[in-house]
Amino acid sequence: MRVLENLEPAAVFGCFEEICRIPHTSFHEKQISDYCFNFARERGYDAVQDEMGNLLITAPATPGYEEAAGVIIQGHMDMVGDKLPDCPIDMEKDGLDLFVDGDLIGARGTTLGGDDGIAVAYALALLEDKTISHPHLEIVLTVGEEVGLIGASAMDLSACKGRRLINIDSEVEGILTVSCAGGKRAKCLIPVKREVKSGNVYRIILRGLLGGHSGIDIAKGHANANLLLGRFLLMLRKRTGFSLISLEGGAKDNVIPKDGEARILLCDDAAQALAETEKQFAEEMRAEFGKADPDICLKTEPEGAQETAVLDEDSADRVLMALNLMPNGVQAMSMDIEGLVESSMNMGVAKLGETELEMHISIRSSVSSAKEYMAEKVVRLTELLGGTTEFSGDYPAWPFARESQLRDLCVEVFKKQYGKEPAVEAIHAGLECGILAGKVPGLDCISFGPDQYDIHTPNERLSISSVARVWEYLRGILAAK
């Protein structure tokens, strides 16, 4: 028996559960792309799959809608793969372990991928249900959205006839998103040298952070595990000398890291200094993050006397400077829209290898010059620390359009269904609308979606009732003439 078998709308949840059975983290979308391609072709629709796995599926207008303006339904097939430390699921090979808790759907131990699996489920359900009235439809499903919108950037949309695009990649029902930030990714490599030393090895374990989406959640005050590890080590250095063996935190650059670990080597008489630093750190975290991130937990575990390769003193200094001095979090608030983050940075991954420290940073801004200025800061600081920076996944902001027939239509349909005005907002997270609008002249875009919570984390949940309401809303928009 399927976990979501008795949920309505059955077509949507049936498709969503099937999607969740197929591994589809970023860079591993071939299976899900093939599934959606075959799904469309088996039902008689034209479908084109490019070399990356992006899909363009065409559905002709239903009777009576031949003259209506064509609509593009758009979402992405990849998901952020994050899990709890003790979860045995291999997210590149295994399906998800779904469960239902009241009105919520989750996945045990892992992210759920409602971002953006629900868009794919809606799209496939539109193809499945022949009773739905709609104009000429073009379904655009992309790959690599979570790693820099690379699928949308590469996709050829010259064959698209529609000039209205509904992006289903927003996470709060009742909000129509009409603008978003642009962004780019930075990979910083700082070389290090090692030497062999003997002493007592300790493992430093940081857990319990909330983490979250580096765009949507960046202003919530959630702590960054990579920065906290660097901060703890800096505090320890003020009390006693130590050598750094390893450090690793975070999973993706667009996810606020929620855990991390380091291993250090201490001399024989430094255990008391370590215990005192651990106590001080706990007190400071409670004072600073008691409401925003209340369950931060750092503990140290002895691993005994060892002889091992550690960073030399200069390398350790540069690693600590990188972790403590790299800009992170909200950098500027919008001067035009109250409460909107304009610019931010997130050190999503920090990993100390044998010969280099590798950091992955997500840079976001709704102002192009501010985005480039933050990127320049990353380059200059990394150079000062003896390293190099590579950039990828550069995508433009989606600017607000003063006039939009699609927005006006969506507002009217919303008022009829919900009996109230929707919120019309800009967001700090990145959406593919900006890229796609640059590829299709005159494209009129909007984004909405059902309620989702704690996306990009193993606490991710999707509201069943909201999925049903947004499904009716989507059908209402397509049926309107």
- Residues that are catalytic: 78, 145
Pairwise CA distance, residues 450 & 474, whole Å: 11
433-465: b or e for each residue (b if 16 or more CB lie within 10 Å)?
bbbbbeebeebbbbbbbbbbbbbbbbbbbbbbe
DSSP strands (E only) in 192-267: 194-207, 212-213, 242-249, 255-256, 260-266
Token pair in block for residue 145 = 């959205």
Pairwise CA distance, residues 355 & 42, whole Å: 51
Please say whether the beta carbons of 87 and 458 come within 8 A. Answer: yes
Phi/psi zone of residue 199: left (φ > 0), alpha (ψ -120 to 50 degrees), beta? Answer: left
Nearest alpha-carbon partner for 180 in 476, 473, 433, 444: 433
The identity of residue 357, as a single letter, is: L
Nearest alpha-carbon partner for 330 in 276, 268, 374, 288: 374
Instruction: Output phi, psi for 460, to 5 deg.
Output: -60, 135
